[in-house]
């Protein structure tokens, strides 16, 4: 087979693919076909005779990893592709750590603590040390520890690092290092590693066990790394350790898209690469295939303001296209209104599907207003990165039981479920157990094994309860040896009492919890089946846990098929592209974030972030800012972002500058704006009219008008309390009634149970599917 795919590549791309004589850095501008180069490079290496299991391809996200695997499978077939070492840093190195866990004193089925496990552990340590959690803010402590780990600083090194100690002393937190030491020890006793440990411990493994390092050095004949600008020191060092000796490495990245420094990513890893690899050959991919010229030029004009970067000339040969549009709104409400209007409009004029639209924002909190606006317009949408499936309470509870079954030393899991469902083991008892455990360096489970022998004083009733819990978990461990994994999962959910607890009362919440648990069990089953198909005979619950603890991507396959507008943070959008992009909230204190104004370095990162956002767009890019916005319960006003002034006006449509100076009255917007609904949308300045001359086809429909009435009940509004309106509406409800819910939008009543205020209705919502509502609580109105 000839390498006919080479015809799919431009000259720069082809050079990058074919060069295999030494270390290589590919600077890949936004939309320049980076994934294509990586894919074909791997295909090329395979063709040269490298066996697939000797190629290591590292990415940053699961999404990127999957995409790469799929694209490679298309070129070389799934058989070969599945033998590659391709995945995220975290997944690949957790695999390697599991294989060598004994070298570090861990078991191969160690638990992976997610961010909330680690935060909760830090909280309890702070509490046990009787420190003030206002001085030692758990989240701050967590990020300090995380940064230390990413810089490969272990506690004993931390203690000797004058700079760090001085910093902690200055911020009146001299005991951080001690917390770190205890935290690390407690993770170890619990048989757990947190996210950062996966990288830190890999480095320790390689450092302390040269034979292991040598093994993987020999194994990986060629190393490819995507998004190198996002690597932190721990990742960078792993790559050098594995790749430096044979020098067959290819890293791809774009310094202009480095946006993860808050997580320890160091842009100098890529900027300083040529010093590290003397023969480093640099290729630049400068042709952008994604966006129109106006979009590319706008983005270039912005990023040009950054000082630290590798020089490159990104260009587009697509049509010039529309100018990038900047729109000013009075409030975040109006901003949502404008965006949803434009989506409706553009969908007609450009024949785009909803899938072609994305709304990008700086912070997750901004999604709310946008959701409301979209719902009013009946525009379907999907939010990326909300609370994912595995973050839901009932799922975390079930998983905590799974985790305990595999690893009873798992402290966080144990704390979570020792008294859920309620079994009379309260805080007092738990505290005794924990104190005892830590005094003797044991896990809580060890103490639980023999409370008396470990000196825990409890009355006999409590002792029985503890015994009962212990036996429960042990019965699961026994079941694990006799049942299939899917059966085991079901046993646990039932025997633990989770199922009983959430089926006790048939509230709408509980029904959705049950569905989630069902979905989890299906997930286990599906996972086992899938593994069986790929030749893995015995899939254990431990395998399942290992898989999901690193899965954060929530793009459910069938979800993605539906035609919906995408809402997500700019960070989450990296690597994606959309025909129509809206970037909202381009204001001072938001974008750039108020947290990032201290140094030029931080501002440069915010600038790169906006660069990433703009370069997601293929055809149209619209930036909006609101002069006032609801934040933490109150209205604040901020000027437009400084970045807007940095965009080259030749490629951008700006609203009249005078507008921005408009004095702001006190808030009445929120109330009065709703009243404007259904009439003409706000008209701000002439710039708006030239492009959207036609009378808007979508003035707000009548139902929406009514919806705004119940929603615009501000504290000051003394007209009707929401309860009243719901009760009034309730009386008239029949099957088939159309209702409008404050959160779920419009829907049709499909069933009614019970009477009066205690009755429950089932509603098929147009956008969010079936929900059950209790009349007593639900906020909705009858429409039509």
- Annotated binding-site members for ATP: 28-35
Q: Give the residue from 444, 342, 386 showing the smallest Cα distance to 569.
A: 386
What's the token pair of residue 685? 């300045």
Q: Give CA–CA dist 451/457, Å, rounded.
A: 8
Contacts of 193 (CB under 8 A, 6+ apart): 94, 97, 106, 110, 111, 112, 113, 187, 201
Which stretches does DSSP call E strand in 494-616? 565-569, 578-583
Q: Give the residue from 240, 60, 220 showing the smallest Cα distance to 152.
A: 240
CB atoms under 10 Å from CB of 638, counted, come to 18
Cβ at position 633, least distance to DNA in Å: 4
Contacts of 631 (CB under 8 A, 6+ apart): 365
Q: Name residue, tokens 């060629």.
A: 222
H helix and E strand count, the chain = 36, 23
Task: Decide: helix, strand or coil at residue 769.
Answer: strand
Cβ at position 305, least distance to DNA in Å: 19
Please state whether the peptide bond connecting residue 592 to the residue before it is cis, i.e. omega within 30 degrees of 0: yes
Task: Decide: helix, strand or coil at residue 745.
Answer: strand
CB atoms under 10 Å from CB of 260, counted, come to 20
Q: Give the residue from 764, 723, 725, 768 showing the smallest Cα distance to 744.
A: 768
Residues in the annotated binding site: 28-35
Continuous segment of H or E residues that includes residue 631 = strand 617-631
CA angle 286, 290, 293 (to 5 degrees): 75
User: DSSP of 326-357, one letter per residue?
Assistant: EEEEEEHHHHHHHHHHHHHHHHHHH---GGGE
Task: Decide: helix, strand or coil at residue 624.
Answer: strand
Contact 617, 295 (CB under 8 A): yes
CB atoms under 10 Å from CB of 738, counted, come to 15
317 vs 718 by CB, closer to DNA: 718
- Is residue 432 left, alpha or beta, with left meaning phi > 0 and alpha meaning psi from -120 to 50? alpha
Cβ at position 195, least distance to DNA in Å: 5
**Hey, which residues are catalytic here?**
34-35, 226-227, 257, 616
What's the token pair of residue 72? 């490679």
Q: Give the residue from 767, 678, 667 showing the smallest Cα distance to 341.
A: 678
What's the token pair of residue 380? 């379907």
Q: Give CA–CA dist 201/192, Å, rounded.
A: 12
Q: Name residue, tokens 């006799």.
A: 482
Continuous segment of H or E residues that includes residue 702 = helix 702-711
Q: Are strands 780-783 and 738-741 parallel, antiparallel or unpaired?
A: antiparallel
Q: Name residue, tokens 């989506």.
A: 343
Contacts of 655 (CB under 8 A, 6+ apart): 326, 327, 328, 684, 685, 687, 688
* DSSP code at position 134: T
Q: Give CA–CA dist 36/174, Å, rounded.
A: 50
What's the token pair of residue 511? 């029904």
Contact 84, 46 (CB under 8 A): no
Q: What residues form DSSP beta bridges with 623?
A: 326, 583
363 vs 662 by CB, closer to DNA: 363
Contact 242, 217 (CB under 8 A): yes
Q: Name residue, tokens 């708006």.
A: 688
Contact positions vs DNA (CB under 7 A): 60-62, 88-90, 115, 123, 134, 137, 139, 195, 262-263, 362-365, 385, 419, 422-429, 462, 550, 552-553, 568-569, 571-572, 593-596, 631-633
Task: Decide: helix, strand or coil at residue 712.
Answer: coil
Describe the chain by its helix, strand, coil percentages, rounded to 5.
55, 15, 30
State the angle between helix axes of 427-439 and 460-482 in degrees (0 to 180), rounded to the nearest 10.
70
Q: What residues form DSSP beta bridges with 630?
A: 635
Q: Give the residue from 610, 566, 699, 576 showing the smallest Cα distance to 326.
A: 610
348 vs 560 by CB, closer to DNA: 560
């Amino acid at each position: 087979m000839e390498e006919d795919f080479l015809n799919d590549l431009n000259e720069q791309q082809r050079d990058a693919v074919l060069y295999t004589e030494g270390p290589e850095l590919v600077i890949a501008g936004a939309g320049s076909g980076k994934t294509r180069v990586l894919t074909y490079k791997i295909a090329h290496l395979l063709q040269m005779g490298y066996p697939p299991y000797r190629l290591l391809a590292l990415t940053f996200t699961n999404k990127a990893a999957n995409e790469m695997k799929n694209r490679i499978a298309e070129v070389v077939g799934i058989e070969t592709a599945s033998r590659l070492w391709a995945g995220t840093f975290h997944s690949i190195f957790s695999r390697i750590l599991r294989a060598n866990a004994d070298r570090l004193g861990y078991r191969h089925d160690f638990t992976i603590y997610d961010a909330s496990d680690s935060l909760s552990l830090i909280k309890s340590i702070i509490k046990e040390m009787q420190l003030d959690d206002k001085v030692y803010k758990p989240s701050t402590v967590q990020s300090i520890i995380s940064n230390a780990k990413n810089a490969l600083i272990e506690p004993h090194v931390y203690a000797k690092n004058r700079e760090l100690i001085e910093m902690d002393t200055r911020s009146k937190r001299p005991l951080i290092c001690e917390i770190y030491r205890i935290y690390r020890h407690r993770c170890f006793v619990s048989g757990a590693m947190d996210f950062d440990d996966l990288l830190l411990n890999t480095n320790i493994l390689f450092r302390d066990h040269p034979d292991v390092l040598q093994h993987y050095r020999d194994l990986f004949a060629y190393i490819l790394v995507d998004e190198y600008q996002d690597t932190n020191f721990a990742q960078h060092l792993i790559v050098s350790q594995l790749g430096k000796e044979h020098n067959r490495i290819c890293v791809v990245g774009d310094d202009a898209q480095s946006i993860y420094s808050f997580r320890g990513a160091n842009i100098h890893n890529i900027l300083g690469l040529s010093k590290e690899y003397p023969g480093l050959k640099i290729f630049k991919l400068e042709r952008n295939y994604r966006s129109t010229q106006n979009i590319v030029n706008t983005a270039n004009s912005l990023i040009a303001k950054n000082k630290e970067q590798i020089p490159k000339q990104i260009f587009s040969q697509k049509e010039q296209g529309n100018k990038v549009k900047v729109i000013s709104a009075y409030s975040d409400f109006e901003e949502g209104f404008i965006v949803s209007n434009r989506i409706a409009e553009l969908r007609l004029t450009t024949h785009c599907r909803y899938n072609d639209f994305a709304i990008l924002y700086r912070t997750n909190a901004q999604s709310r207003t946008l959701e409301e606006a979209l719902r009013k317009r009946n525009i379907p949408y999907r939010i990326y990165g909300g609370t994912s499936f595995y973050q839901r309470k009932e799922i975390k509870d079930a998983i905590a039981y799974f985790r305990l079954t595999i690893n009873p030393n798992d402290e966080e899991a144990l704390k979570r479920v020792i008294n859920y469902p309620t079994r009379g083991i309260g805080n007092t008892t738990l505290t005794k157990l924990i104190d005892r455990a830590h005094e003797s360096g044991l896990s809580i489970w060890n103490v639980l094994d023999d409370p008396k022998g470990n000196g825990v004083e409890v009355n006999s009733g409590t002792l029985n309860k503890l015994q009962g819990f212990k036996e429960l978990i042990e019965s699961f461990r026994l079941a694990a040896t006799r049942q299939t994994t899917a059966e085991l999962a079901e046993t646990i959910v039932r025997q633990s009492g989770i199922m009983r607890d959430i089926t006790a009362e048939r509230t709408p919440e509980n029904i959705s919890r049950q569905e989630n648990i069902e979905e989890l069990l299906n997930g286990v089953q599906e996972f086992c089946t899938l593994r069986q198909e790929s030749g893995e005979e015995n899939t254990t619950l431990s395998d399942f846990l290992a898989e999901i603890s690193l899965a954060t991507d929530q793009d459910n396959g069938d979800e993605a098929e539906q035609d919906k507008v995408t809402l997500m943070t700019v960070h989450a959008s990296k690597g994606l592209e959309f025909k129509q992009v809206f970037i909202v909230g381009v204001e001072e204190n938001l974008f750039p974030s108020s947290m990032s104004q201290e140094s030029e370095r931080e501002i440069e990162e915010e600038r790169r972030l906006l660069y990433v956002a703009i370069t997601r767009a293929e055809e149209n890019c619209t930036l909006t800012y609101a002069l006032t916005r609801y934040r933490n319960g109150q209205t604040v006003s901020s000027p437009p972002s400084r970045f807007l002034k940095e965009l080259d006006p030749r490629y951008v449509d700006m609203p009249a500058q005078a507008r921005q100076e408009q004095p702001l009255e006190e808030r009445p917007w929120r109330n009065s704006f709703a009243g404007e609904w259904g009439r003409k949308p706000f008209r701000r300045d002439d710039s708006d009219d030239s492009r959207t001359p036609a009378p808007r086809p979508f003035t707000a429909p009548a139902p929406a008008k009514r919806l705004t009435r119940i929603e615009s009940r501000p504290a000051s509004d003394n007209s009707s309390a929401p309860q009243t309106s719901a009760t009034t509406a309730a009386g008239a409800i029949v099957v088939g009634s159309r209702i409008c819910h404050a959160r779920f939008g419009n829907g049709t009543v499909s069933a009614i149970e019970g009477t009066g205020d205690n009755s429950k209705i089932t509603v098929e919502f147009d956008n969010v599917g079936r929900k059950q509502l209790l009349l007593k609580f639900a906020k909705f109105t009858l429409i039509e």
